[in-house]
């Protein structure tokens, strides 16, 4: 029997045309995680089209049936859209791609949703972009069961002069393959003290989180990064 979920807070991750007068939507919601929706578009669907855009807080009414694809029955704005200037816009798309590719359908993630909302707010306000992105990446890794523990496998500090690489399910282990990305034990010990303020340590944390995320993406290229690189070449 179909079940209606009314007034669910959510954001549009991606939308594309589907059949005639419909759109296939990927949304990120507070209580149901990532959901796939079909939205029936009216002949004069300009208002609907304007709502079904990324970075706009919405209230979604969704009809859940037996299929993995739910039906969007109503969509209303619950706040002003986040205005992301370039290049912060690419960071917003980066967040959406990570959720789209790494979060399973129906995987409830209310804490990650709250972190996503806070990150969009930081990007929109131009406040500490790099730090906000690292917070989101760490929260995402934690939700996926890949949370980072900046200690050795036996819970001790790293040897300051030794280099370590990250292995999924094992954490940081002494570097064996020189081709693998590695990090100095002294730096990992500094990261164990908490989210850093120093730009140098934030840059290292970025390398750490991106290394972990790249493993989870299994070689998949992110369009947001390609767009950012093209922007830098203008």
pLDDT tens figures, 80-131: 999 999 999 999 999 999 999 999 999 999 999 999 999 999 999 988 899 9
| 65 vs 90, residue with greater confidence | 90
CATH number 1.20.1440.120 given to 88-232: yes
- Kindly report the pTM of this predicted structure: 0.92
pLDDT of 28 reads 99
Q: Is 181 exposed, middle or buried (0-12, 13-18, 19+ CB in 10 A)?
A: middle
| Domain definitions of the chain by residue range | 3-77, 88-232
Gap between the Cα atoms of 32 and 36, Å rounded: 11
Q: Say yes or no to pLDDT of 64 above 70.
A: yes
What's the pLDDT score for residue 128?
86
> Residue 2 has what pLDDT?
81
Say what the pLDDT of residue 20 is: 78
Tell the burial category of 90 from Cβ atoms under 10 Å away from its Cβ (0-12, 13-18, 19+): buried
What value does the mean pLDDT take over residues 161-180? 90
pLDDT band at 5; cut points 50, 70, 90: very high
**Residue 206, number of CB atoms within 10 A of its CB:** 14
Q: Cα Rg for the chain, rounded, in angstroms?
A: 20
Class of domain 3-77: mainly beta
Length of the chain: 234
For residues 127-156, average pLDDT: 94
Gap between the Cα atoms of 117 and 109, Å rounded? 12
**pLDDT at residue number 169:** 82
pLDDT at 45 over 60: no
Cα separation, 76 vs 57, in Å, equals 9
Instruction: Return d(Cα 181, Cα 202) in angstroms, integer.
Output: 17
Per-residue buried b or exposed e for 25-38, using 16+ beta carbons within 10 Å of the residue's own CB = bbbbbbebbbbbbb
Over 70: is that where the pLDDT of 25 sits? yes
């Amino acid at each position: 029997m179909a079940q209606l979920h009314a007034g669910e807070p959510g954001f549009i991750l991606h939308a594309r045309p589907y059949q005639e007068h419909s759109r296939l939507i990927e949304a990120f919601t507070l209580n149901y995680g990532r959901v796939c929706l079909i939205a029936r578009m009216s002949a004069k669907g300009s208002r609907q089209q304007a709502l079904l855009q990324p970075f706009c807080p919405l209230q979604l009414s969704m009809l859940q049936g037996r299929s993995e694809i739910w039906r969007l029955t109503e969509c209303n704005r619950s706040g002003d859209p986040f205005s992301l200037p370039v290049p912060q816009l690419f960071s917003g798309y980066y967040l959406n791609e990570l959720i789209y590719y790494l979060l399973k359908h129906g995987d409830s993630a209310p804490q990650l949703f709250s972190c996503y909302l806070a990150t969009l707010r930081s990007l929109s306000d131009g406040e500490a972009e790099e730090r906000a992105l690292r917070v989101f990446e760490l929260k995402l890794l934690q939700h996926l069961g890949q949370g980072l523990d900046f200690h050795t496998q036996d819970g001790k500090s790293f040897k300051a002069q030794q280099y370590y690489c990250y292995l999924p399910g094992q954490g940081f282990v002494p570097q064996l393959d020189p081709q693998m990305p590695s990090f100095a034990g002294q730096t990992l010990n500094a990261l164990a003290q908490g989210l850093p303020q120093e730009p140098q340590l934030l840059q290292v944390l970025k390398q750490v989180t991106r290394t972990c995320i790249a493993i989870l993406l299994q070689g998949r290229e992110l369009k947001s990064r390609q767009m950012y690189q093209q922007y830098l070449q203008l």
